[in-house]
Amino acid sequence: MYPFFRLFKELYLHRKAEPLPLTGIHVSRHVCWPWDLDMWMELNNGRTLTLLDLGRLPLAQRVGLIAVLRRERWALTMAGVSVRYRRRVKMFDTFEIRSRCVGWDDKFLYIEQGMWRHGDCANHALYRAAVTDRNGIVPTARMMAAMGREVAPPPLPDWVQAWIAAEAERPWPPMAD
């Protein structure tokens, strides 16, 4: 089941947090509960992706995106993710999620997140996110204008550009041959 109570807690805890710039870092703290585990008694890889929502959505709230999504009746969707898993997170481990938008292009926002435990990065994710309306993807320039932040995107780091290029090479639909 989706961790709605944990999400509401995070949104509530950070509702009065200082606003962040578009590329600011949001930090949230969490616990790995028994229902987050896989059969090897460590944080399930799928649950990791779900828990990263608990960092992305408060980040979106703090930069002012959630209010715009509600006002415009838009949605936020994930259009891709790449994750590196490097350290185990075990039951009752505490960890923090660090989330930030590293930049954007004409269609997508690129969000990086790290899950940190005991001073080490346990996993790291790069997301491609899009704002959508009933007609499809809302251009980021339109989204920025609605946020009152008509700013040029920062240059994307080389590793993000390389991921974008690699994603462009992947066949769609997959396994079509």
Indicate the helix (H) or strand (E) that contains 84: strand 75-85
Please check the confidence at residue 50 and state whether its pLDDT lies above 80.
Answer: yes
Which band of pLDDT confidence, cut at 50, 70 and 90, is reported for residue 16?
A: confident
Query: What is the reported pLDDT for 57?
Result: 95
Query: Position of tokens 């509530």?
Result: 12
With b meaning 16 or more CB within 10 Å and e meaning fewer, what string describes 158-170?
A: eebeebbeeeeee
Say how far apart CA 83 and CA 32 lie, in whole Å: 18
Region 42-56: mean pLDDT is 96
Region 45-56: mean pLDDT is 96
Say how far apart CA 53 and CA 116 lie, in whole Å: 15
Please check the confidence at residue 129 and state whether its pLDDT lies above 90.
Answer: yes
- For residue 130, what are the contacts with CB-CB under 8 A and spacing of at least 6? 76, 77, 79, 107, 108, 109, 137, 138
> Angle between the 45-62 and 4-13 helix axes, to the nearest 10 degrees?
30
What value does the mean pLDDT of the chain take? 96
Say how far apart CA 85 and CA 123 lie, in whole Å: 4
Region 17-21: mean pLDDT is 94
Query: What is the reported pLDDT for 29?
Result: 96
Query: What is the reported pLDDT for 22?
Result: 95
